[in-house]
Amino acid sequence: MALLAEHLLKPLPGDKQIETEPFLDAVSHLPPFFDCLGSRVFTRIKADVTSNILSIRAVYDSDPAKFQTLQHILQEEKEIYGVEWPKVGATLSLMWLKRGLRFIQVFLQSICDGDRDESHPDLLRVNATKAYEVALKRYHGWIVQKFFQAALHAAPRRSDFLQALSRGQCVPEEVCLCNIRLFLVNFTATVDAIYELYASMNADLSYKV
């Protein structure tokens, strides 16, 4: 489970402020996760996640003191962009990034919860479908949804996916699941906090691509 275990997100403080630099450092190692899903269709999510991380990083690097937390980024950009906000800047990039991160979170949580297709218990189709429907489907138009439905039917075998997460090492499944659960503790809390931030600032957008 080297892909996940090496770069855990920090625990959130009581006020749920998310420090920008540690957050970006941790999530910048996540794009290869989508390679573990096998289908080339998931390279689109990988590319989007990578692009959004780079966009947020560029804003942070422009003034680290001003953009110390993700909350500061949204608040500052709301002042900077006025009526154009939240359709611009790092605010827009983080909006799409959180959806990619939610896909990862729901997918991994579904595996840990034991969700399976009883007729094909070693396939991860059920888990990938659940993650897509929760995190991304509502933001995709009909054509994009069709592409992803094809990818979901080509979801990898459970054993192949866990081995890919472990970078080819033969790690017992229960050890893999324990490591995933450990990863999910701070990851889920952070993703939830970002969603709460967008809800509290009325910054989410529902347009489709």
Higher pLDDT among residues 35 and 167, named by residue: 35
- Which are the contacts of 92, defined by CB distance < 8 A and separation ≥ 6? 86, 205
Q: Domain boundaries in the chain?
A: 2-6+13-199
Question: Does position 91 have pLDDT exceeding 70, yes or no?
Answer: yes
What's the distance, Cα to Cα, between the start and end of the chain in Å? Answer: 33
Report the distance separating Cα 173 and Cα 22, nearest Å: 29
Q: What is the pLDDT of residues 139-180, one digit of tens each?
A: 999 999 988 888 887 788 999 999 999 888 888 999 999 999
Report the distance separating Cα 23 and Cα 38, nearest Å: 26
- Which are the contacts of 113, defined by CB distance < 8 A and separation ≥ 6? none
The predicted pLDDT at position 2 comes to: 66
- Mean pLDDT for the chain overall: 94
Place 75 in a pLDDT band, splitting at 50, 70 and 90.
very high
Burial of 139 (C-beta count, 10 Å sphere; 0-12/13-18/19+): middle
The predicted pLDDT at position 207 comes to: 94
Torsion of CA 158, 160, 164, 170, to 10 degrees: 100
Question: Does position 81 have pLDDT exceeding 80, yes or no?
Answer: yes
Neighbours of 59 (CB within 10 A): 19
Q: What is the pLDDT of residues 99-145, one digit of tens each?
A: 999 999 999 999 999 999 888 888 999 999 999 999 999 999 999 99
pTM of the model: 0.96
Q: What is the CATH number of domain 2-6+13-199?
A: 1.10.3520.10
Report the distance separating Cα 22 and Cα 57, nearest Å: 11
Tokens matching residue 130: 């659940």
